[in-house]
Amino acid sequence: MNLIFLGPPGAGKGTIASIVKEAFSVPHISTGDLFRANIKNETELGKQVKEILASGNLVPDEITIKMVENRLKEDDAKSGYILDGFPRTVAQADALKGMSNVDYVINFVLDRETILKRLSGRRVCKSTGRTYHILYNPPKVEGIDDETGEPLIQRDDDKEEAILNRLEVYEKSTAPLIDYYRAENLLIDLDASKSPEEIFEDLKKIVK
Ligand code: AMP
């Protein structure tokens, strides 16, 4: 099963992907996570994209497409995948056609106000990538990761200025993919305002 998770930042794509990944035994391929891992490991790619991620702008298509192409060639992606955060431009969607067949494009639908609330309250554990929300999914001890005991941080791109920029970038560059995939009969809308459990139930009905 090859799935694309499409939708604005903060719609819960990563949260649902981590549930689906376990349930369907497919890798969760998040381009944002791949970039962040490169930044953390201070690779050449990481150095190239660090500032871009902090600002909330998009990494150039050429770099992103190459990275995904390499990732999809790995063995674990042969029997299916969840692509989260890719494609984000029409050029990326065109390039994906040459790499793989897509079964469904799940469009996470959420209003702007809820997106802003979700993103501004998001906190992450830097070493594990585990995410929390100060209101909706708080850690057991404020500001501390439940398992590692490390302090939680706010991603640079979850700060207000970057959030507004990310939403603008989404509207301009990524939202056109809704019509793109609808025209190909691959798009399925999902109400992303529900709880993760409810969203997962809805998703199971769709892809079965
Ligand atoms: P995310 O974790 O999906 O919100 O991605 C974090 C950041 O990584 C984005 O704001 C972009 O700077 C970069 N990024 C992730 N995926 C892509 C993509 N498909 N194309 C370009 N930039 C991306």
The pLDDT tens digits of the residues spanning 35-76 come to 999 999 999 999 999 999 998 999 999 999 999 999 999 999
For residue 98, report the distance from its CA to the centre of ligand 1, in Å.
21
Instruction: Spell out the residues 6+ positions from residue 185 whose beta carbon is closer than 8 angstroms to its own.
Output: none
Decide: pTM greater than 0.85: yes
Q: Output the CA–CA distances (angstroms, integers) from residue 56 to 23, 49, 118, 167, in the order listed.
A: 31, 11, 16, 9
88 is known as an active-site residue: yes
The CA distance from 136 to 172, in Å, is 29
Atom of ligand 1 nearest to the CA of 52: 12
Using CA atoms in the order 69, 91, 16, 72, what is the torsion angle rounded to 10 degrees?
-10
Asked whether the beta carbons of 7 and 13 are under 8 A apart, the reply is yes
8 close to ligand 1 (CB < 6 Angstrom) = no
Selected catalytic residue, list 36, 71, 88, 123: 88
Residues 101-146: pLDDT tens digits?
Answer: 999 999 999 999 999 999 999 999 988 888 899 998 899 999 999 9
CATH of domain 2-110+168-207: 3.40.50.300
